[in-house]
Structures are given as C-alpha cells and as structure tokens.
Amino acid sequence: MYYFCISTLVLFTCCIMKTITIIGAGIGGLTTALALEQKGFQVVIYEQAKTIKPMGAGIMLASNAMKVYQNLGIDVQLILNANPLYSMNITDKNLNAFSKIDLQYFKHTYNLQSISIHRGKLQEILLQNLKTTEIHLHHTLDSLTKEIDGYTLQFQNGQQIKSSIILAADGIYSNVRNVLFPNSKLRSMKQVCWRGVANFTLPKTYQNELNEAWGNGDRFAFVQLHENQMYWYAVKSFTQHKDEFSTEDLSSYFSSYASIVQEIITTTPSQNIHETVIEDLQPISSWHDEFACLIGDAAHATTPNMGQGACQAIEDALVIANCLKECDTTEEAFRKYQKQRKATAHKVVKQSWHIGKISHWKHPVATFLRNGLLQIFPQKLNRIQLEKLFQLQKTPA
Ligand SMILES: Cc1cc2nc3c(=O)[nH]c(=O)nc-3n(C[C@H](O)[C@H](O)[C@H](O)COP(=O)(O)OP(=O)(O)OC[C@H]3O[C@@H](n4cnc5c(N)ncnc54)[C@H](O)[C@@H]3O)c2cc1C
C-alpha cells in the first residue's frame, strides 16, 4: 500500500513537473496555455509567425466557448471588448429572417453571453493573461523524430528541442498530424469565402444580431464587432477553382441582395478583405500517440458554417488541461481527452458540412422549400439541439 501511494505520487509529480510543449499560438494554443498555466504547469509555445498578428477578421464565440472563458476568469474582459449577440438569424437575400436562434435564452438561463469580437482583440486578451508561458516566435516546426522517451522537434531556424508532452495546436494544415497520421485528408467544400472588417455602424436593429442571408449558391453575413467596426463574410460556390471569382467583382456577385450588403462591401478597403477556400479535415479516429496530441483544428478542423471551429478548440483547451492534471500518465490523459471530446467535435464537423451544402442549394424550387421548412422548424428545437451540443444543464432551483 505504502509502495503504491509513493509510486502514484511520483508519477503524478512527474506529470506536473514536466514542461508542456505547444506548437502554434492561435486561439487553441493560447487558450490551452492559459488553462495549463492556471493548473500549475510550465508551458512553452513555438509559433511560426514572427509576430502574433491574426487575420483582420471577426469571430463569434458561442455559449460553449464563453463557458470555458468563464472558468478561466476572462469572460468579463472579453465581453467588455466585444459586442454582445442576442440572436443568430438565417434570412433570405432581403434580410427577412426564416430561422432565429435566441441567444438571450442562454444568457438568462446559464449566464453565458455570446459575443462577436475582433480576432486580434481575442488574441491580445489571451496573451495579456498569460503570466509564465514562454512564447518562441519565428519557430516553424519542420520535423519530428520519435525517441523512446519523447520526440525531437526540429525547427526551420535550426533549433532543436526534446519534449515528451507535445500539444499540436498548429491548425488545419498541422505538420504534427501529418507525421502522426499521414493518411489524414482535407476536404474542399468548393466554396470560396471572403472576410472583411470595415469601419461601419450597422442600423440599430442589426447591432446585436448575426444575420446570414442565403441566396442561390451563395450567402452573405454581417455582424457588429465594436463601435463603428463590423465584420462580414461572403461565400460563393465554385465548380473547379476559386479563381472563377475575384475580389474586385465581389459587389456584383451580391447585387441581388439587400442594399446594405452593397454598402458594406464598398465601404471595406480592399486590403481588409481576405479570401479563403472552405475546407475541413475528414474525421480521423485517433488524435494522439503516447507523447503527442492534436488539439483544435489540427484534430478536427471544421467548415465555418456553424461558427464552431474556434469554440471547439477552446473546449479542447480546458478538457486537455483537466485531463493532464487529473491523470497519472500523459498517455492516459490524452486518451481521456479524446474520449471526452471526439464525439462532439466530429458531430460539429459533420453537421457543419451538411449546413454548408444546404445553404448553397441553387435550384429555386429547392431553395423555396428549404426556406419554408426552416421557417416552420420550431425555434425551441434549435435551442434544445444547441443545449445538447454545448452540454449545458440547468441547475435545479
Ligand atoms: C471563414 C471562417 C470563419 C470562421 N468563423 C468562426 C467563428 O465565427 N467562430 C468560431 O468558433 N470559429 C470560426 N472559424 C474557425 C476558426 O477560425 C478555427 O477553428 C480556429 O482558428 C482554430 O484555432 P487553432 O488554434 O486550432 O488553429 P489556428 O487558428 O489555425 O492556429 C494555428 C497556429 O499554429 C501556427 N502554426 C502552423 N503551423 C506551424 C508550424 N509548423 N510551426 C509552428 N507554428 C505553426 C500558425 O501560425 C497559427 O498561429 C472560422 C473559420 C473560417 C475559415
């Protein structure tokens, strides 16, 4: 018994004392570092960029992400630097809503305020709250070599380190995943997405809403981020290659939409518009080996149709930190994390893929039926589905 207690304590202490290596200082990597720091771990992040300068775009953080940030004690700071969202609407081209999700319900029932925030602000707040984490910029991970007790990591700048606890938060094109699971595959939705941030104040009715207008093979969404700052995205299906469309002609692609859409596009300086092809990671069955574990987009990159990619990465962050704290060995912690997170993250990948397809139907009869069906789908069911996905439970009075 005495021997058992001592060896458990030794294993536990080893797990706590080891430095944890994170690859990637995106939303997933930074949130994980914060969660680990708060549990007493020493963390080192290696990031390829020379400065932490996120793309000029906004992001929506739903109740599940805000629940994590509440746990980490930064929810109030985020809310003060963001715009509170009261509802998420799907509309026709003229902004007549045919589906609404009442986000105030989540605020009133669970005290979780959904927000829209500039990505730069979110990363700035995460960085401000990191106290002991070391961040090494300009460190692009080039290769990993497996040893008996961990991996040797080789960076493009010539630096080499050894680590036995590696968390790969290196995004959808993850180098670590390509080494661990070389058969993993990315899937293109054949949709091109433009994102922009503009100095613009939306009319009062739209200020606390995300409105996503669906057309025929395209959609346009907009949301206020802060006073006189808004974020929008536009998506269009292509047949072979994204170059079938160009940013210069963006306003003509959306000329049949409500006039505010034109106003938003023309107010946005072209250097503030970023183009991306929408893709995801075909779900993979395992996210780890004994020394390295994938988190965020590296593990389960999803299409952005549910606005859940970063929210899922944020959920991963707290779960992996809890598992590393609670488990005696790293591998046990990775297994427990995967067990807790995989089903939900993959559900999001799957549902989001389907929503992306349905939202781009082109045939007028199909779109008419789709819009009609969404209109009669009870709001309450949308809400119940989200409560399940976010694993929110009402506390008995
Ligand atoms: C159009 C669009 C809209 C979206 N909107 C939303 C939304 O509203 N809400 C939401 O929750 N999600 C949204 N998402 C998804 C969200 O952006 C991602 O899921 C989220 O950024 C993933 O975070 P991450 O930290 O896992 O990866 P990333 O943000 O990709 O970060 C990876 C980091 O790793 C670094 N890196 C990569 N390779 C290396 C290497 N070899 N060595 C060192 N460093 C490396 C990168 O530089 C980067 O800093 C959207 C996505 C898209 C495409």
Nearest atom, ligand 1, residue 58 CA: 8
| Ligand 1 probe mutation, 45, 47, 136, most atoms within 8 A of CB | 47
> Which 3 state secondary structure label does DSSP give 21?
strand
Nearest atom, ligand 1, residue 174 CA: 38
The string of pLDDT tens digits covering residues 132-164 is: 999 999 999 999 999 999 999 999 999 999 999
Q: Which pairing describes strands 134-136 and 186-198: parallel, antiparallel, or unpaired?
A: unpaired
Taking the centre of ligand 1 as the mean of its atom positions, its distance from the CA of residue 203, in whole angstroms, is: 30
Q: How confident is the model at residue 241 (pLDDT cuts 50, 70, 90)?
A: confident
Taking the centre of ligand 1 as the mean of its atom positions, its distance from the CA of residue 26, in whole angstroms, is: 6
User: Does the Cβ of 154 fall within 6 Å of ligand 1?
Assistant: no
Taking the centre of ligand 1 as the mean of its atom positions, its distance from the CA of residue 202, in whole angstroms, is: 27
Residue 328 φ/ψ, nearest 5 degrees: -75, -30
Nearest atom, ligand 1, residue 49 CA: 47
- Ligand 1, atom 30: closest residue by C-alpha: 171
Please give the residue that has the higher pLDDT: either 256 or 391. 256
- Ligand 1, atom 4: closest residue by C-alpha: 304
DSSP letter for each residue of 247-285? GGGHHHHTTTS-HHHHHHHHHS-GGGEEEEEEEEEPP-S
User: Does the Cβ of 311 fall within 6 Å of ligand 1?
Assistant: yes
Report d(CA 260, CA 254) in Å as an integer.
11
Nearest atom, ligand 1, residue 312 CA: 11
Q: What percent of the chain has pLDDT over 70?
A: 94
CATH of domain 2-187+280-389: 3.50.50.60
Which residues 6+ apart lie within 8 Å of 25 measured at CB? 45, 47, 49, 52, 123, 135, 137, 169
The string of pLDDT tens digits covering residues 264-289 is: 999 999 999 999 999 999 999 999 99
| Ligand 1 probe mutation, 119, 139, 170, 277, most atoms within 8 A of CB | 170
User: Does the Cβ of 141 fall within 6 Å of ligand 1?
Assistant: yes
Report d(CA 41, CA 26) in Å as an integer.
19
Sheet of 150-155, strands arranged across: 141-147, 150-155, 160-163
Report domain extents, the chain.
Answer: 2-187+280-389
pTM: 0.93
The string of pLDDT tens digits covering residues 285-342 is: 999 999 999 999 999 999 999 999 999 999 999 999 999 999 999 999 999 999 999 9
Nearest atom, ligand 1, residue 298 CA: 26
C-alpha angle 165-170-173 in degrees, rounded to nearest 5: 130
pLDDT at 4: 44
Residue 132 φ/ψ, nearest 5 degrees: -115, -10
DSSP letter for each residue of 34-74? HHHHHTT--EEEE-SSSS----S-EEEE-HHHHHHHHHTT-
